[in-house]
Chain A
Amino acid sequence: MQKPAERMPLKNYRVLDLSRIWAGPYCTKLFADMGAEIIKMESLSVYDSHRGPVSPARGIAAYPDGEPGEEPWNRNGWFNCLHMSKYGVTLELTEAEGRMVFEQLVSISDVLIENFRQGSLERLGYTYEELRKHRPDLIYVSMPAFGNTGPWKGYLGYGIGQEQLSGMAHMTGYRGDGPMKSGINHGDPITGSHAAGVLMAALRHRRLTGKGMYIDVSQQESAVALMGPEVLAYQMTGEEPERRGNRSGWYAPANSYPCAGEDRWVTIAATNEEQWQKLTQAMSAAGLANDPHFATAEQRRENHDELDRIISEWTISQEAYAVTHLLQAAGVPAGPVLRGPDLLADAHYKDRGTFVTVDHPQVGPKQYPGIPWRMSATPGRVRWPSPTLGQHNRDVYGELLGLTGPEIDLLEKTGTIGTKPTGSRII
């Protein structure tokens, strides 16, 4: 367990990470990307549910070639894309021996983070006050769905629910139709990213003052923070936001248009007059530019249906990338709707190293999303694949805590630690 050899911004910080699923793990993923030492702790009876069920059916695409293998919990791509460069340990906090080890880990950690249901850690006797007895300057990030106070504090929430309870789903959808969820659960990375930045500010504050702090994260509040402009707009107009499909409330045309091939689409947006003129030129449709129906943005918004029909006729026989290259060369915002295979083959993402190949011992080399930004002085890298269940028990409990071989053997024998699940609850 050595610190990264290369220069990395957070290499001097250790995070004890009890978080699971996505919101907390995205926060600690960003920390791991920046070089922090993340000790991801799971329970053998309730491991991180992103690992999937203990005995999944065959054919589920999250496993390599749909094959769960003997240890499916170590072969799930869902889990394996979020925990690279983290250490993985297991510990049963309900056992007395486990509690002792946990308290020792707390004592050597800068940060403790969890996104259990509100009050879960407290019910095990670990309030912030209690945790601070083991580490006086600990920063404790508690990240339940609705925060640690208020009438809903005990309620459960998932990323999909936060899209709804923040108002995001309310303004997403086809025109004239109901609200729509996203293809992911935006609530999770939104909370994880906010938490990562605020946690760094707290670590900096501790460096200056010597004081730790308790950080109460409401995943819902974190999501509503991104809705601010629409919350203000509602107060100004008294009107709820409109669902506009892929159109814009400001400029026109803006939409997705069908292209050659099955389920192939290109997006085009003329955000100002100049781009509108250039679009008509690129379409070799000078007549459009002079058509009084489309003279101003307001008119183009009013006659958007007709405009969409005309543009669709132009795009439908062309490749989405070809339309994009043509329009971008003319200075018009455009882009193909990329699918999984397109993303991994895309020239720009290849050039930037957006996706990285990582060799996982039970999966083999596969492509993953890498570090989501570039840094000139501390570029960093994905250092190792996501840990298998309990992979680093001996490194962490032996090397870091100084437990002897026989002591660790005993922990294994009593089921306090291990590498094989004793159960798992999956939502």
Chain B
Amino acid sequence: MPGLLEGVKVLDLTHYIAGPYCTKLLSGLGADVVKVERLGTGDGVRWLGPFASGGGKIPPGPPFLKGGNAPEDGAWFLYLNTAKQSLALDLKSHAGRKIMLELATKADILVENFVPGGMDSLGLSYAELSQVNPALVVTSISNFGQTGPYRDWKASELNLYALGGLMNITGEPEQEPLKEGMPLAQLGAGQNAFAATMAALMYSEETGEGQQVDLAIAEYATNILENALMQYSYSGQEYSRVGNRGYGRAAWGIYPCADGHVGIIAGPDHRWPEVARIMGREELSDPRFTSRAGRLEHADEVDAYMLPFLIDNNKVDIFKAGQESGLGFSFVATMKDILEMEQLLDRDYFVQLDHPVAGTLTYPGAPITPEDSVEAWVFRRAPLLGEHTASALNSWLGYSEAQVLELVQKGVIAQNEGA
């Protein structure tokens, strides 16, 4: 079976990160995802490097790269758009809008992440879309949502992580707050948009009633603050930055080791003797350190006793020494470590995808694996810009070759000649 969501039709008007991750999960599960891209330039994320053909240097982003065709081999585009089809279309033209409304009548789901009001100005407001297809699920992902005083604010990941409350609690207390290296607010919001879209699809299929989902990236961040928000809500005490130590914990966090960094988790208390034994320091068995509160009180001393062992040993060895003793140790994996990780290789996690421009690369596979007898996920490389213009218009709307050619000549759509 080609994917759990076989037969579900998704009209994908997303670009950059959050929206495309949502529709990547849908296309990965086998939905028929047609990604509508701007003529010529395509999804802006196509312009973000590095590129398979571009060597080691990361070129600047889209507004700085003038001219030329949209790149096909950027790491971000290639990963975020697997198993999708690309339809290059001029959304701003009258004929383009007409095609969009025709496609919307056939779609089960439409996902977009234009700025709020962007769809309205294209004549594709929710009211207009639901008029042609009352069962349609329209998922709108935006920085701050479709309503509220910050609706029209501009934001990058940095600003979203800050406004969402996650940045204040990340980093060293005496230094500036820190964002994550990966855009986890946008990617996480894309994940939640996938769950929200699935819920709306279930409802639509059971009742015939579609609806609009309004998902704000900043609100995703506020939703996962957990105790960082709750302790203020409950007791008025602010959560703070604690660097690499767990909040209110000691011997619990990231430490340097011989070949990198490891994660030490000292707990539960009855396991502490195991930690002391692994570190080979009798001093760690001191009753002052046997409880979580005691270790916290003497955190620096505990660290000083652990460091000699850690500095002398390699990350994977420390990780395994902990795990074999029932302790949830970890290590800071590099990209190289990830690609070579025995657990991931044993589980056939990675997939190799060949791409006409980017060549063969190893991609992280399914985030979650339903049972083997069901082929839940499909794996196909990301599309070239306009690669599926003709085939999508044919399979969704029955357009003939001649109709497609006429629209190409009018400049409403474009086809990738190399495809």
Contacts and interface: CB of A to CB of B under 8 A. Distances in A.
A375 B196 contact: yes
Contact of A369 (B148, B160, B225): B225
Given A165-B330, A372-B223, A426-B268, A64 B4 contact: no
A169 B315 CA distance: 14
Given A61-B237, A194-B191, A373-B219, 13 more contacts: A10-B202, A151-B343, A194-B368, A204-B201, A216-B369, A221-B349, A231-B335, A233-B335, A238-B56, A241-B181, A333-B159, A375-B196, A425-B268
Interface string B215-239: 1101110111111111111111111
Interface in A213-261: 213-218, 220-222, 224-241, 243-246, 248-251, 254-256, 258
A146 B343 contact: yes
B243 interface: yes
Nearest to B244: A181
Given A66-B237, A165-B331, A269-B158, A298 B203 contact: no
Contacts of A375: 196, 199-200, 211-214
Contact of B233 (A82, A335, A340): A340
Interface in B148-197: 148-150, 153-156, 158-172, 175-182, 184, 187-188, 191-197
A160 B246 contact: yes
B147 A351 contact: yes
Contacts of A272: 61-64
B71 interface: no
Interface residues of A, number: 160
Interface in A55-76: 57, 60-66
Interface stretch (A184-192, A396-404, A405-413): A184-192
Interface in A255-275: 255-256, 258, 265-269, 271-275
A224 B344 CA distance: 10
B366 to A, nearest CB: 7
A283 interface: no
A311 interface: no
The 9 tightest CB contacts between A and B, nearest first, are: A183-B169, A171-B181, A340-B232, A161-B330, A77-B230, A377-B211, A234-B335, A156-B328, A225-B367
A195 interface: yes
Given A64-B235, A265-B177, A340-B239, A197 B195 contact: yes
Interface residues of B, number: 163
B275 interface: no
B345 to A, nearest CB: 9
Given A202-B370, A251-B61, A335 B196 contact: no
A228 B368 contact: no
A61 B226 contact: no
A184 B29 contact: no
A170 B368 contact: no
Interface string B353-371: 0000010011111111111
Interface in A307-340: 328, 331-340
17 contacts: A61-B231, A77-B233, A151-B346, A155-B328, A169-B263, A204-B5, A229-B76, A236-B52, A254-B158, A332-B154, A335-B160, A344-B233, A373-B193, A377-B209, A377-B211, A425-B268, A426-B269
A415 to B, nearest CB: 23
Interface stretch (A96-104, A106-114, A172-180): A172-180
A190 B222 contact: no
Interface stretch (B253-261, B303-311, B392-400, B402-410): B253-261
Contacts of A218: 347, 349, 368-369
A82 B226 contact: yes
A5 interface: no
A89 interface: no
A153 to B, nearest CB: 8
A424 to B, nearest CB: 10
A130 B79 CA distance: 39
A144 B226 CA distance: 21
A203 interface: yes
A26 B211 CA distance: 24
Nearest to B175: A174
Contact of A373 (B62, B163, B196): B196
A200 B195 contact: yes
B349 to A, nearest CB: 6
Contacts of A202: 4, 370
A369 B202 contact: no
B333 A167 contact: yes
B94 to A, nearest CB: 28
A244 B181 contact: yes
B293 interface: yes
A173 B171 CA distance: 7
Contacts of A155: 323, 328
A339 B293 contact: no
A348 interface: yes
Contacts of A162: 330
A337 B154 contact: no
B26 to A, nearest CB: 9
A414 interface: no
Given A77-B234, A164-B333, A340 B228 contact: yes
Given A160-B263, A348-B148, A352-B148, A183 B239 contact: yes
A343 B230 contact: no
B330 A157 contact: yes
Contacts of A133: none
Contacts of B64: 272-273, 296-298
A166 interface: yes
Nearest to A329: B153
A368 interface: yes
A180 B202 contact: no
Q: Which of B158, B231, B361 has the most CB of A within 10 A?
A: B158
A203 B195 CA distance: 13
Given A77-B227, A298-B60, A335-B162, A186 B180 contact: yes
Nearest to B187: A226
A232 B363 contact: yes
Contacts of A116: none
A9 interface: yes
Given A221-B366, A235-B361, A164 B263 contact: yes
A232 B75 contact: yes
Nearest to A205: B4
Given A34-B199, A170-B333, A237 B60 contact: no
B3 to A, nearest CB: 9
A147 B225 contact: no
Contacts of A157: 328, 330
Contacts of A146: 343
B192 A78 contact: no
A358 B341 CA distance: 44
A150 interface: yes
Contacts of A294: none
B230 A62 contact: yes
